[in-house]
Amino acid sequence: MRRPRLRTLGVVSVCLTLLAAGAVAGVHWARGWTGSVTVLANWGGSEKEQFERAVERFEAEHRIDVVYQGSSALSQVLAADLASGTQPDVVVLPGPGELTVYAAEGRLKPLDGLFEAGAYDDVWTPKVAGEDGQKRTYWLPVKTGLKSMVWHAGDLPKDGTTGGAGIARTAGEPDRWCLAMESGATSGWPGTDWVEDILLQQAGPQVYEQWATGGLSWTDARVRKAWQTWGEMVGAGDRTRVGRILKDDFGQDCPRGSAEHQGSFRASHWQGVEGDFVHSAEVIPGARAGSDRWEVSGDLAAMLNATDEARKLIRFLADPGTRLPDFTVNKKAPAPESHGDPLKRRIGSILRDSERQLCWDASDVMPPALRDAFHQAVLRFLVAPGELEGRLQALEALSDGGRPTLPVCGTT
């Protein structure tokens, strides 16, 4: 039997999907559902499942259907939707960079009054300028992550009494680092995390914030030093090693005896091998002693269509009783100490400790074009570290010009 052509299969698939969606919608309306709200995010796997479980209560209480749209090419899909006027009601983006631009363009609807302002610190819910120049709140953190972490387990070198002292020598042994750059359209971001964190630990939060917001040149000696430190730590220029790093997926399993500079989302992997983490300042050469500066990330919900359904969903997401994917920084939510998992309890406590200095992932603060160029630059730097100066000059040329500003660092 002749197989149907791919085009035919694609059309049939789309039609079946639409029919299924129509059937579901028909059932919902028959049961008294009052409306729907679309949400665009990049969550998959367990994060998507946690979100869908959380909004089941919202759907039951409000009789509003939450239509989740997932995409790994989130920025591109959102840009296309905005251009065609078919944007989702709510979008969840990683970091404030793109959202700051969209707020200035008048694309976002303010969230002021939809949640208790004191429930979040300013670093998470700052007021930024809208199209009219007035400052308002335009996003809400629904999931946060801790960075500046070095994970380790197994037979790493022992030369002291603490984990940090025991793995410090790993900094000078590139083969001990578990490092991978492949991440589809966003390949390179594990490398930008490295460069950012090294600058934060070596130069401090004030310099870091100036650089992240365009106030400090990419060719500044302190920025250059951060790149060079990373290159020396991971063996930039080693063709065999770098070729493997560029092809390996960032979510790969790390061999026993290695260490990994990666965020809190890797907790489950390292727990599986009885691993733990230390602050990256204990490992990074030239880091300031006793540092308590942590790079952080966050998935931020913003409203594109100010419908009643969208407003109700924002209120629900800000409700401290809503169980969203780890970790929350809502100060009204149950304290991290109540978490049954000791490792996650420790991570949650750091994210909500009022004594910590938290700084946004710098690339998540940058405009999309600069962020993407940064991703590409770290990949090229790994291959040819001797061409660093040209890379930095190119990034500086792209960075030149005004951009919306927002607080990058702050205490919780």
Of residues 117 and 316, more confidently modeled: 316
- Confidence check: pLDDT of 405 > 80: no
> What are the phi and psi torsion angles at 260 (to 5°)?
-135, 130
Would you state the pLDDT for residue 338?
Answer: 59
pLDDT tens per residue across span 65-110:
999 999 888 989 999 999 999 999 999 999 999 999 999 999 999 9
**pLDDT for res 179:** 96
Domains 34-144+297-353 and 146-296+359-411 share a fold: yes
- Write the pLDDT tens digit of every residue in 27-74: 455 457 889 999 999 998 888 998 999 999 999 999 999 999 998 889
Whole-structure pTM value = 0.86
Better-predicted residue by pLDDT, 294 or 289: 294
Q: Report the alpha-carbon distance of residue 105 to residue 157 in Å, rounded.
A: 52
| Residue type, position 381, single letter | F
pLDDT at 368 over 90: no
Burial environment of residue 267 by CB neighbours within 10 A (0 to 12, 13 to 18, 19 or more): buried
For residues 147 and 229, is the Cβ–Cβ distance under 8 A?
no
Bridge-based pairing state of the strands 35-41 and 90-94: parallel
Instruction: To the nearest 10°, report the CA torsion of 75, 80, 84, 89.
Output: -30
Neighbours of 383 (CB within 10 A): 15
For 131-200, the DSSP string reads TTS-EEE--EEEEEEE-SEEEE-SS----SSSHHHHHGGGGG-GGGB----B-GGGTTHHHHHHHHHHHH
HEC per residue, 83-119: HHCCCCCEEEEECCHHHHHHHHCCCCECCCCCCCHHH
- Cβ proximity of 397 and 389 under 8 Å: no
The pLDDT of residue 20 is: 40
Q: Say if residue 398's pLDDT is above 60.
A: yes
- Where does the pLDDT of residue 310 fall: very low under 50, low under 70, confident under 90, or very high at 90 and above? very high
Q: How far apart are CA 88 and CA 41, in angstroms?
A: 10
Confidence of residue 411 (pLDDT cuts 50, 70, 90): low
Q: What mean pLDDT is predicted for residues 368-374?
A: 93
pLDDT of residue 166: 58
Residues constituting the chain: 412
Domain residue extents for the chain: 34-144+297-353, 146-296+359-411
Mean pLDDT score of the chain: 86
Q: Which CATH superfamily is domain 146-296+359-411 in?
A: Periplasmic binding protein-like II (3.40.190.10)
Position 162 scores a pLDDT of 46
CATH class of domain segment(s) 34-144+297-353: alpha beta
Which pLDDT value is given to residue 402? 63
pLDDT in tens, 120-166: 988 899 999 999 999 999 999 999 999 999 999 865 554 444 445 55
- At 400, list the tokens: 């030149």
Taking the CB of residue 62, how many other CB atoms lie within 10 A of it? 20
Which residue, chain included where needed, has tokens 């809208």? 130
With 0-12 / 13-18 / 19 or more C-beta atoms within 10 angstroms meaning exposed / middle / buried, residue 312 is middle
Task: Work out the average pLDDT over 355-380.
Answer: 93
Tokens, residue 281: 């300042």
